Structures are given as C-alpha cells and as structure tokens.
C-alpha cells in the first residue's frame, strides 16, 4: 500500500469535557483537526450538538473543525455547518438523498466535502462520487457513541477506498473513526488511512498533547 500524502490526527471532542470545550480545544492545538460529532437522536440513538455550538467552537478553536453529521436529511442541513465555520463537513451516504448536490453545496459554502460510510455500507456503489469529494470516512464502529471497540473487518474497506482514490487521482483523504488508539492506528495507516479520529485515546490520557504525538508517531511508523 502506497504511503498517504498526509497523516493527520483529529481528536473527537465527543470524549472531551463539554463543560469546558474552549479549554479542551486549546489542549489539542498540536493536532490537525478537531472532530465534532453532530448527532440528532434520529439517524443515530444519541443527541449531541448542532450548528450554533459549531459556530461558537469555530470562534475559539486553534485548529479547524471537522463536523461529522450523523443526522437525517443532511441535504438540507450540511451546508449550514460550513457556513457556521466548519472547515470540513462529513455527511452519511445512508441519510443523503442527493449526495452529489450536498457535496457541491458544502464546497460552495467554503468547506471540504466528505462522505461517511457505516460499517455495513459497502463503498463500491459510491466510488463514482469521488470527483465530488475531498474525503471518505470509513466508520470502524457503529456510529452513535464513543468508547466502542475497533472493528478490524473494516480495514478491507479502507484498502478499497485507498485503491479507488489512487486510481482516481487527486488528493482525497481517507479517514477512519471509531476505536482508533495506540494499538489500532498503525493498522489503519497501513491499510491506507491518512486522517485518524481518536476520542478517548486522546482525551482520556493524562497528557493530551503527548497522546496526540504518540498517535501521530505510531501512524507514521506503520507506513
């Protein structure tokens, strides 16, 4: 597997202290992104935050925001997260009626457009969407809650996406989210991922900056 062009760490604030989010964002200033999980209690059985909070976080975050929308009707709502200040907006293909139009609307609003796939969703039917995308997210747990165990069987999908990106050309990132930690990130990188979402592996550590550095080092060593 060819080495990805970039290796980026995106800590998930789902594992952060919601009472002190500004401070929790400052703690990950050495990361590349802050991953913001938006859940509506419909597409997934959990409820987190919405566009007004993303807008507030964008004003104080030292790193760009990567909004992961686990919501119904992203065709309607996704562009608003770009307008709220998210630099990358990810929507689930399972919830989108018009993925091409949604991706184009996100880009038109000034953000990177990304497509997410749940563990049970194959990538092949959506490979022709790559020209509209800046990133593909392969979920390595069922979306909805943090702290779940990493699903090794999703690495085959990561490889499939990386190979499709290689054939397509251009710079399209491959992101993994779910159970990413010191003992799993290497396998993800080896499979072709280059953006790594980690929640408890970062915010559960005594030294958040050291945890980010250790994850980055483990990913680099694998490729």
Residue 185 belongs to domain with CATH number: 3.20.20.70
State residue 144's pLDDT score: 74
Average pLDDT over residues 6-20: 96
207 is an active site residue: no
pLDDT, tens digit, 9 for 90 and up, residues 95-118: 999 999 999 999 999 999 999 999
Q: Which domain holds residue 46?
A: 8-222
1 is a domain residue? no
Residue 197 within a domain: yes
CB 137 within 8 A of CB 68: yes
Q: What secondary structure does DSSP assign to 7-68, as a single string?
A: -EEEEBGGGS-GGGHHHHHHTTTTSS-EEEEEEBSSSSS-B---HHHHHHHHHH-SS-EEEE
What percentage of the chain carries pLDDT values higher than 90?
Answer: 92
pLDDT above 50 for 1: no
CB atoms within 10 A of CB 87: 17
Q: Examine residue 60 and state whether it is found in any structural domain, yes or no.
A: yes
At what angle are helices 51-60 and 74-83 packed, to 10 degrees? 20
| Residues ≥6 apart with Cβ < 8 Å to 171 | 5, 134
User: What's the confidence (pLDDT) of residue 143?
Assistant: 82
Known active-site residue 194: no
Whether the predicted pLDDT of 40 surpasses 60? yes
Q: Which of 32, 37, 40, 134 is labelled catalytic? A: 37
Catalytic residue among 40, 66, 177, 194: 177
Looking at the structure of the chain, the number of domains it has is 1
Q: Confirm whether 2 is domain-assigned.
A: no
């Amino acid at each position: 597997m060819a080495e990805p062009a970039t290796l980026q760490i995106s800590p998930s604030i789902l594992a952060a202290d919601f009472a002190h989010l500004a401070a929790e964002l400052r703690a990950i200033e050495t990361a590349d992104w802050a991953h913001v999980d938006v859940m509506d209690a419909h597409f997934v059985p959990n409820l987190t935050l919405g566009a007004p909070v993303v807008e507030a976080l964008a004003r104080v975050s030292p790193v760009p925001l990567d909004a992961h929308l686990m919501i119904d009707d992203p065709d309607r709502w996704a562009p608003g997260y770009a307008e709220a200040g998210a630099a990358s907006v990810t929507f689930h293909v399972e919830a989108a009626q018009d993925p091409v139009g949604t991706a184009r609307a996100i880009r038109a609003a000034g953000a990177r457009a990304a497509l997410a796939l749940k563990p049970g969703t194959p990538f092949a039917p959506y490979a022709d969407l790559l020209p509209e995308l800046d990133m593909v997210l392969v979920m390595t747990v069922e979306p909805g809650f943090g702290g779940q165990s990493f699903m090794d069987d999703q690495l085959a999908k990561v490889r499939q996406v990386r190979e499709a990106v290689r054939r397509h050309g251009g710079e399209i990132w491959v992101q993994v989210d779910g159970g990413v930690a010191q003992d799993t990130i290497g396998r993800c990188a080896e499979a072709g991922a280059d953006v790594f979402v980690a929640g408890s592996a970062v915010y559960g550590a005594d030294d958040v900056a050291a945890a980010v550095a250790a994850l980055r080092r483990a990913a680099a060593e694998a490729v």
